[in-house]
A and B are shown apart, each in its own frame.
Chain A
Amino acid sequence: NAGVTQTPKFQVLKTGQSMTLQCAQDMNHNSMYWYRQDPGMGLRLIYYSASEGTTDKGEVPNGYNVSRLNKREFSLRLESAAPSQTSVYFCASRDRGNSGANVLTFGAGSRLTVL
């Protein structure tokens, strides 16, 4: 099982450029999440999708959009990248309703640099 797969692993953008981070999970999980990780700031939730067809803002949603394309895929889009969005982005999924697996499974991360 691949678990949670993120692409790309690395990306360098210029200010104002747009890009989409892709995420797919093969565990049939209902909920998916996008976090960003910055030094000394821990993991901050950008957006989440509790189930297919729904998306909601997290702690730091400004400058981002998301799409829950289907149950497997949850993408994060930067419409006009800014240097403040330089970060490591993690996608995660969780199987809600299953008490034995109510934990987050993370992808390997996408390191984004905005110049």
Chain B
Amino acid sequence: GQQVMQIPQYQHVQEGEDFTTYCNSSTTLSNIQWYKQRPGGHPVFLIQLVKSGEVKKQKRLTFQFGEAKKNSSLHITATQTTDVGTYFCAGPGGSQGNLIFGKGTKLSVKP
């Protein structure tokens, strides 16, 4: 079945360093979504990318959707302690387009 793979599983950075997580799908996606889960919290929607090659920015966060619509990335510039959490990508798959989540990248930031 369809798989969404995400790397790395963990990332430890010093505050101020950049961070990137990558997401790859085994099939072409109609769209890809990104969610953030703070420690002890629940996933919260960040953004949805739909177009091939699309790039969207939210302050220090930059999201990209690959030209082939099979991969995506999230880049955080100059990380802050408020960026700590697990970042998930998710793409529609299976019956009725239910979201399939990557396993997430857990980001820790050392002040």
By a beta-carbon cutoff of 8 Å, the part of chain A in contact with chain B is 33, 35, 40-45, 48, 50, 56, 58-59, 90, 102-109
A-B contacts besides A56-B95, A103-B48, 16 pairs, CB < 8 Å: A33-B98, A40-B9, A41-B103, A42-B6, A42-B101, A42-B104, A43-B88, A45-B99, A48-B96, A48-B98, A58-B98, A59-B94, A90-B43, A104-B33, A104-B99, A109-B42
Closest to B33 in A: A103
Contact B43 A104 (CB under 8 A): yes
Measured as residues with beta carbon below 8 angstroms from the partner, the interface class of chain B is 20 to 34
Kindly count the residue-residue contacts between A and B in the assembled complex, taking CB atoms under 8 Å apart.
48
Contact A45 B48 (CB under 8 A): no
> Residue B44 at the A interface, CB < 8 A?
yes
Contact B88 A108 (CB under 8 A): no
Given A50-B96, A56-B95: A42 touches B88 (CB 8 Å cut-off): yes
